Amino acid sequence: MLAQERFQAPGGQSLTASARCTGTQTANEWSFFIRGRARITVFASSNTARTFDCMHGDFDNILKSMGHYVENIGDEELGFLEIFKAPKFEDFSLEQWLAATPTRNVAEHLFQDHKKAGMRFVEELELKKMPAKPAPEWESSGP
């Protein structure tokens, strides 16, 4: 497991440990924070979301099928262990989902009053999964 290649991104790296690669079942996601400070936003399809701040020693439980993302809000490297009670870990990112949706739908729904910003946003979407990527360097003037 430790011999696998780590994914390198600006500001850190990621190592995914998987015990088995067959079949899949949805499962809750448990996370234990080893170091650093994180902000987790969990969102549901019913237009609701909650945001939590975590630090080393904290534990969280994200219910199955709940979209979420983790942001490093500290000055140091973020380290956490994710645990799933499932035979195989499978996921897709919000970016993959948006990239697979017709661009006009994404731009019009997310940027109703900012057509130029919507087009710029959808142009940067990638269908290829990236475990971590830096924030886009958009103009400071906003959308």
pLDDT of 52: 94
Return the HEC string of 57-96: CCEEEECCCCEEEEEECCCCCCEEEEEECCCCCCCCCHHH
- 5 has catalytic annotation: no
Quote the pLDDT of residue 86: 76
Catalytic site residue from 29, 82, 90, 139? 82
State pLDDT tens for residues 58-103: 999 998 878 888 889 999 999 999 888 777 767 777 788 889 889 8
pLDDT tens track for 30-69:
999 999 999 999 888 777 889 999 999 999 999 887 888 8
